[in-house]
Every structure is written in structure tokens, then in C-alpha cells.
Structure 1
Amino acid sequence: MQFDDTQLERFKADLSRLDDCLQKHGMVRAGQWDYERVSYDRKFQVTEGTYYLRIQGYAIEGDIDSSDALVQLLPPILGKYYYPHGVEYGDDEYYPGQLVKQCEKLLLNIKNEIEGFAE
């Protein structure tokens, strides 16, 4: 499920500031990066299963591995985890309404914070 109304894709932000901001909101980068792309995930365990909220971006200047990159953000996505296959992000998945609302609130808080330092 893609969140199209967050406006996060308008932002370009410094990677180190983005790391700090998203970590404060429970979003983890861990090993989710390469030289050009970065992903931040937050895990949600609810009665209906395990879900992951993901915010992705790509470097428009610099490299992700150097932690000195300007990152263009993409629309966030929510996916359901299936053992052992992984996460499915399709629109045909079931997404609990309360979880979607929680993610929308989290994304709004993230957007409001990123607005303060994004280009």
C-alpha cells in the first residue's frame, strides 16, 4: 500500500539529518542501503499479522555509504510480512484500519519535522 498524500516525495534532505529524524520516529535504516538507495523500516506487530512501514529514497548528490548524500524521498509504503517469503506491498493485501491511521499520523509527524531542514 502506497501513501500518496504524505508529500514526503517533495523533499530532498541531508542523509545524516534524515537518519537522526527517522530514528527518533522508530524508523530503522540498518543494512537497508547501497551506494544510491536507502530504506527505513518500522515494524508493527498487530493481531492481523506483522507489517512494515517503509520510507525509501535515493541519492541525488553524493553516496549513501559516505553518509554525505542529499536524498530524494519517495512515497512511503506499507507491506505485510509473510514467513518465509518476505514483505508484500500490493494493494490487494489487507491493511487494518487502525494500523493505517497510526502510520498516517507517524508520517505526518515525520513530514512536519523534515520540513524544517529539507531543501
Structure 2
Amino acid sequence: MKFENTGIETLTVDLNRLDQVMEHNGMVRAGQWDYERVTYDYKFQIKEGIYYLRIQGYATEGDVGSYDAYIQLMTPYLGKYYYPHGIEYGEDEFFPEHLVKQCNKMLSSIYEEAKVFAE
């Protein structure tokens, strides 16, 4: 499930500031990066299953590995985890209304905090 028109996809933010904003909102980057891309995840374990809110971005300038990059964020999305196959994001998936509402709230908070540091 894609979250269109959150404003997040319009932001380009310094990686160090972005890491702070994401961490403040519970999003984890961990080892999910390479020198040109980053992925932030938030894991939900609810009665309906395991879901991940994911925000990805790519470096428009600099290098992620050296913590010297500006990251263009992309459209956030939500996926359901299936063992052992992984995460499915398709239109056919069921996403509980309370989960979607919580994700929208988180995305709004991330946008408001990140836009202060956007270029």
C-alpha cells in the first residue's frame, strides 16, 4: 500500500538530520543502506499479523557510507510480512484501518519534522 501525497516524497534532507528525525519517530535504518540508497522501517506486530511501514530514499549528492549525503525521499508504503517469503505490498493485501490511521499519523509527524531541514 502506497501513501500518496504525504509530502515526504518532495523532501531532500541531509542524511544526519534525516537519521535523527527517523529515529525520533521510531524508524530504523540499521543495515538497510548502500552508498546511494537508504531504507527506514517501522515494524508493527499486531493481532492481524506483522506489518512494515517503509520509507526509502536515494542520494542526490554525496555518499551514504561516509554520512555525507543528501537524501531524496520516496513515496512511503506499508507491507505485510509472510514467513518465509517476505513482505508483500500489493493491492490485494488487507491493511487494518487502525494501522493505516497510525501510519498516516507517523508520516505526518515525520514530514513536519523533516521539512525544517529540507533543501
Same fold (TM over 0.5): yes
3-state SS of the aligned residue for 2:5? coil
Tell me the C-alpha RMSD between the 2 structures: 0.6
Matched, 1:27 2:27: yes
Matched, 1:56 2:56: yes
Q: Provide the rounded CA distance (Å) in 2 between the counterparts of 1:37 and 1:43.
A: 20
In the other structure, the counterpart of 1:97 is 97
Query: Could you tell me which amino acid in structure 2 is paired with residue 65 of structure 1?
Result: G
TM-score, normalised with respect to structure 1: 0.98
Query: Could you tell me which amino acid in structure 2 is paired with residue 107 of structure 1?
Result: L
CA deviation after TM superposition for structure 1 residue 5, in Å: 2.0
Q: Provide the rounded CA distance (Å) in 2 between the counterparts of 1:21 and 1:6.
A: 16
CA deviation after TM superposition for structure 1 residue 91, in Å: 1.4
Gaps of at least 5 residues in structure 1 are: none
CA deviation after TM superposition for structure 1 residue 95, in Å: 0.3
CA deviation after TM superposition for structure 1 residue 36, in Å: 0.7
Q: Provide the rounded CA distance (Å) in 2 between the counterparts of 1:22 and 1:37.
A: 15
Query: Could you tell me which amino acid in structure 1 is paired with residue 55 of structure 2?
Result: I
3-state SS of the aligned residue for 1:115? helix
Gaps of at least 5 residues in structure 2 are: none
In the other structure, the counterpart of 2:76 is 76
In the other structure, the counterpart of 2:114 is 114
CA deviation after TM superposition for structure 1 residue 90, in Å: 1.0
